């Protein structure tokens, strides 16, 4: 592959890393303003709280996927991407844990996961893509979450086969996170959550574009 063809995907991942860094900094700053004037503290059954709990679980698997591929590839670009994903999503999980602590809410929900996404959107609300939002059945698998069988397949894979499987799983994983981010944007006005979801969507969309090019090169 010539240097010109490499420039575009590398540029994309640099943008994604920069967006993730801004998101981390924004989240750290926002801990001092968990709720804004008139927002009030989210309830334990709110979309804000449900998103914080479920996205932690989602991100934790993202970190695991990233660390698995770092042990199974010698490709420097893929190893760097995996490191960036693991670092960003680990930091973001910590932020969401901090929100719940600041709100004096339990880390575990008393209702099935994803219940928050089954509730109606706010009147007139649209997501980052201008849509009214999507719904999800309570207790159903989170969007984009890899199955136990898929995780085991990645653990057993090596070399190019592991690289291809990781990219397929992480692209789906990112798309699922974007779906959850879009859903919370239509269900809450809590500033720290909407800022976080918007930044996460932008970063992960950039990473998806980069991963799609890495995957195409392996087809």
Q: Which of 6-10, 56-60, 86-90, 111-115 has the lowest mean pLDDT?
A: 6-10
pLDDT tens for 151-178 read 999 999 999 999 999 999 999 999 999 9
Please check the confidence at residue 205 and state whether its pLDDT lies above 50. Answer: yes
Q: Are 199 and 22 in contact (CB under 8 A)?
A: yes
Q: How many domains does the chain have?
A: 1
Q: Is residue 121 part of a domain?
A: no
**Across 182-202, average pLDDT:** 96
- Identify the band that residue 23 occupies on the pLDDT scale cut at 50, 70 and 90: low
The answer to the question of residue 67 being in a domain is: yes
**Does residue 156 belong to any structural domain of this protein?**
yes
CA distance 119 to 158: 42
> Which CATH number does the domain housing residue 45 bear?
1.20.1260.10
What is the average per-residue pLDDT within 25-38?
48
Residue 124 lies in a domain: no
Measured distance CA(25)–CA(214) in Å, rounded? 28
Q: Decide if 127 is inside a domain.
A: no
pLDDT of residue 211: 97
């Amino acid at each position: 592959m010539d240097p010109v063809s490499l420039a575009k995907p590398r540029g994309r991942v640099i943008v994604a890393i920069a967006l993730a860094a801004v998101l981390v900094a924004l989240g750290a700053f926002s801990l001092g303003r968990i709720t804004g004037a008139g927002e009030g503290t989210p309830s334990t059954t709110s979309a804000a709280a449900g998103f914080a709990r479920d996205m932690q679980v989602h991100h934790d698997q993202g970190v695991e996927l990233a660390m698995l591929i770092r042990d199974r590839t010698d490709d420097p670009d893929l190893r760097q991407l995996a490191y960036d994903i693991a670092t960003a999503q680990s930091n973001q999980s910590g932020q969401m844990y901090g929100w719940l602590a600041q709100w004096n809410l339990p880390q575990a929900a008393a209702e099935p996961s994803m219940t928050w996404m089954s509730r109606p959107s706010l009147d007139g609300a649209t997501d980052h893509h201008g849509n009214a939002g999507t719904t999800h059945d309570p207790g159903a698998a989170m969007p984009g979450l890899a199955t136990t069988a898929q995780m085991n397949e990645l653990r057993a894979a090596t070399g190019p086969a592991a690289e291809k499987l990781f990219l397929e799983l992480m692209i789906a994983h990112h798309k699922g996170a974007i779906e959850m981010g879009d859903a919370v944007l239509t269900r809450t006005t809590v500033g720290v959550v909407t800022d976080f979801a918007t930044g996460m969507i932008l970063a992960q969309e950039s990473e998806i574009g980069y991963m799609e090019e890495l995957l195409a090169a392996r087809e």
